[in-house]
Amino acid sequence: MIEIIGRQGSHYTRLARLLAHELGVNYALRPIHDLLSEDPATFAGNPALKLPALRDGDTVVWGSQNVCRLLARSIPAGEARVFWAEDARSPLLMNAHEIVAHTMAVQVEVVFHEVVSKRAPDAASRKRRASLINCLTWLEANLAAIRAELPADRIRIVELALFAVLEHIPFRNPMELPPTPDLADFVAWFGQRPSAKATPYAVDSPALPSAAAGA
């Protein structure tokens, strides 16, 4: 059984889980409870102390893109079923993959600064907020054109990532954002897919103490 090491509340983990469901790959989710851990073992050995990871027997890879790649490789012709970032040829699609990836990264930075660390706003955090708003504004303005260029016969990794981050924003978001009706319509549409319904955001239950776990 393939094991995804991550969190139900992480959009990076959800991206991997969405792809697994879209491809029909069976997996088990092993939650990471202590995001502030400094022990690489918490993160399946990742020295960067980041999630998610994938373990398949003796094979372990780190990072959502590598996890997605190995999920696809775990089934016959799985990679060919996915439209990856490197498949983008037009400047619009190339930029779309870049902006969605950055939106995922900067939203994590905002949450860690203002929710996890509970730090006061500073120049760097204000720039992160502006960056997030700018990215969402660009995606709203270009969504129709982006989707028109994506192939209809493949799983579009950029759509999975976009849905994951857009649903994560209301799940864990400390800031007010401008209205984005086209993005909201996309979330409502994608949210009806079985993969979306199978992977809702949730807070992972705390790990049981060792004594209780052995009881």
Question: pLDDT tens digits for 148-168?
Answer: 999 999 999 999 999 999 999
Query: Which residues make Cβ contacts (< 8 Å) with residue 83, sequence separation at least 6?
Result: 150, 151, 154, 155, 156, 157, 158
Residues in the chain: 215
Question: pLDDT tens digits for 10-50?
Answer: 999 999 999 999 999 999 999 999 988 999 999 999 999 99
Question: pLDDT tens digits for 69-119?
Answer: 999 999 999 999 999 999 999 999 999 999 999 999 999 888 776 666 567
How confident is the model over 63-67, as a mean pLDDT?
Answer: 97
Cα dihedral 145/78/69/28 (nearest 10): 110
Average pLDDT along the chain: 91
Residue among 27, 32, 82 nearest 198 (CA): 27
pLDDT at 205 over 90: no
pTM above 0.75, yes or no: yes
pLDDT at 173 over 80: no
pLDDT at residue 66 in the model: 98
Instruction: Decide: residue 131, CB within 10 A, 0-12 exposed, 13-18 middle, 19+ buried.
Output: middle
Domains contained in the chain, CATH given: 2-81 (3.40.30.10), 84-197 (1.20.1050.10)
pLDDT at residue 207 in the model: 58
Residue among 215, 150, 133 nearest 186 (CA): 150
pLDDT at residue 209 in the model: 43
pLDDT at residue 174 in the model: 61
How confident is the model over 42-67, as a mean pLDDT?
Answer: 97
